[in-house]
A = this chain, B = another copy of it.
Amino acid sequence: MKRASIVSIGNELLSGQTVDTNAAYLSENMLTIGIPVVSSYTVGDDTDSIIRSFNLASSDADLVLATGGLGPTDDNLTRQAFANFLGTELQLQKELLQKIQDFFDSRNRRMSAKNKIQAYIPAGAKALANNLGTAPGIMADVEGKLLIALPGVPSEMRKMFEESVLPELHGLAGRQAIVIRKLRCFGTGESNIAELLGPLMERGRKPLINCTAKHGVITLHIIATAKDKTQAQQMAEKDEDLLRNILGELVYGTGDQTLGEVVGEELAQQKKTISVAESCTGGYLAKLLTDIPGASRYFTHGWITYSNSAKTSELGVPPDLIEEYGAVSYRIAQAMAQGAKKRAAATFAIGITGIAGPTGGSERKPAGLVYISIDSDNRCETKRFVFSGGRDTIRLRAAQTALNMLRLKLWD
């Protein structure tokens, strides 16, 4: 089977100013075409280090994908390192220069002198078109190994990878077919899932089942390898059924689906609407719901009633109820949901009140305490949670948990 290695270039990566999302993107996309990434190197803006990493990576793999260091400023050295690695010189490509000029012209912007350097590529290499920016990619065959340099800006890198690199690579993919199915779960922890699945998650097993966790979402990856795609597909599907049987309602979706997407799709299909009344999450729940294109089909109203008076004036929460139970309480979450449902005339309304922290907590009501209430025509369901972590984690976890409560209600 063919293998790939990744080289990420840029001082901003080694100084921690930038998180390398390109490596993850490339790794995932290479794996889906059956060329696993076996190693990944990160180096700074230094010609020698880049050349050394090209050597290490090409000894690990048949294909080296490098990102970064193709910009117009002086700290961009990938172009030169690529030429040194090939043992050639940089050459001006008039066609490229024209393209870069056109890019600026079409945007009514002046091309800076610095951008001219981007029209130079190593002799013997091929330029890859950049339809979003000015830095062309570079591709060359070096003693039977393929070396490809892509821009570091994620949007440009992704577009170039999809449009110019992938079509070249399909021929490279080995005879082994890989099919990956992802099952997304919410509502329990990683170790509990591992116990539920037991021997299914053993390392030698085929298909391999891996588990990752992020923001409370547990993703199970079923990785099936077989001689042909149909066979791999069947193996993956059989395992998916197995896992779904064991995990039941914990599985909320597949692939890269978010809770917001799944809930949104279900609302749209059932022709139901949702409105939200948020305090501690401050708009986060509404944002997750409206992250989805077409959210206006089901999302109508949102209130962020951060102050007590806003809870009263906008949602009709009685001031004496706040006085008696405190703004962060079962009763207020319920009154917020009921007020929002009534005012928006939606099928469902969610009320959230809590203490996002790190300040504002007390022994009786610590940071992380959140009440979530869902009001529907039949009944109003309210739950109490204590989330741990920092402010961001608590807010996101509260919003995700609200979406999950709504999902289970929609699936009822």
Point out the residues of chain B lying under 8 angstroms from A344, CB to CB. Answer: 310
Contact A17 B219 (CB under 8 A): yes
Given A42-B23, A212-B12, A284-B283: A306 and B300 interface contact (C-beta under 8 Å): yes
18 additional contacts (CB under 8 A) given A39-B49, A114-B195: A6-B42, A13-B24, A17-B219, A38-B49, A39-B43, A42-B42, A56-B56, A155-B393, A281-B290, A282-B287, A282-B289, A282-B291, A283-B285, A283-B290, A290-B304, A301-B303, A301-B307, A302-B303
Contact yes or no, B282 A290, CB < 8 A: yes
Residues of B within 8 A of A299 (CB): 282, 304, 306
Q: Please give the residue numbers on chain A whose beta carbons come within 8 Å of chain B beta carbons, in ascending order.
A: 6, 11-21, 23-31, 36-44, 49, 56, 72-75, 112, 114-115, 155, 191, 194-195, 201-203, 210-212, 214, 219, 221, 223, 276, 278, 281-287, 289-291, 293-296, 299-307, 309-310, 313-314, 343-344, 356-360, 389-393, 395
How many Å from the CB of A9 to the closest CB on chain B?
A: 11
Q: Give the complex CA separation of A29 and B360 in angstroms.
A: 29
Q: Which of B75, B155, B303, B389 contacts A210 (CB 8 A)?
A: B75
Copies per complex? 2
Report the separation of the CA atoms of residues A236 and B80 in the bound assembly, to the nearest whole angstrom.
Answer: 31
What's the least CB distance linking A213 to chain B, in Å? 8
**Least Cβ distance of A257 to chain B in Å?**
14
| A211 CA / B12 CA spacing, docked (Å) | 8
Closest B residue to A75 by beta carbon equals: B203
Assess the A23–B24 pair: CB atoms within 8 A. no
A124→B105 CA distance, assembly (Å): 65
Q: Name the B residues within 8 Å of A212 (CB-CB).
A: 12, 17-18
Given A210-B75, A310-B300, A344-B310: A31 touches B15 (CB 8 Å cut-off): yes
* A155, A281, A306, A309: most-surrounded residue (chain B CB, <10 A): A306
In Å, the complex CA distance between A68 and B28 comes to 19
**CB-CB < 8 A to A114: which residues of B?**
191, 194-195
Query: A15 contacts which chain B residues (CB < 8 A)?
Result: 27-28, 31, 36-37, 210, 221, 223
Q: How far is the CA of A391 from the CA of B291 in the complex (A)?
A: 8
- Which of A21, A28, A286 counts the most B-chain CB atoms under 10 A from its CB? A286
What chain B residues lie within 8 Å of A300 (beta carbons)? 306-307, 309-310
What 3 A-B pairs are tightest by C-beta distance, nearest first? Answer: A282-B290, A16-B28, A302-B304
Q: Which residues of B contact A17 (CB under 8 A)?
A: 24, 28, 210, 212, 219, 221
Q: Given A201-B74, A300-B307, A306-B295, does the pair A27, B14 have CB atoms closer than 8 Å?
A: yes
B191 touches A72 (CB 8 A): yes
Contact A41 B43 (CB under 8 A): no
Contact of A39 among B42, B112, B191, B210 (CB under 8 A): B42
The listed residue (B20, B221, B276) touching A20 by CB distance below 8 A is B20
Task: Verify B301–A314 contact, CB threshold 8 A.
Answer: yes
Closest to A4 in B: B14
